[in-house]
Structure 1
Amino acid sequence: MMTWLLAGVLSAVLIVRFYVRHAPHEAADFHLQTSSKTEAGDYRTDGGFEAVRQPDEPIAEAFARLVRIVEENARTRLLDGSVEDGHISFVTRSHFWGFPDTTNIWVLGDHLHIQGHLRFGKSDLGVNQRRILNWLAIARL
Structure 2
Amino acid sequence: MKFRPYEDMRRALNLSSRLIVHEWSTAGVTGIPGYSTYVGNAAKAARFLKYGGYIGIGFAFAGTTNDIADACTKGREGECGNIAFKEYSKFAVTTAGGMAGGVYGGAAMMGICTGVGIATVGVGGVTCAAVGSMVGGYMGSTGAESIIKKVIEYYDN
Alignment TM-score, normalising by the size of structure 2: 0.32
**Larger C-alpha radius of gyration, 1 or 2?**
2
Alignment TM-score, normalising by the size of structure 1: 0.34
Question: Higher helix proportion, which one?
Answer: 2
Question: Higher strand proportion, which one?
Answer: 1
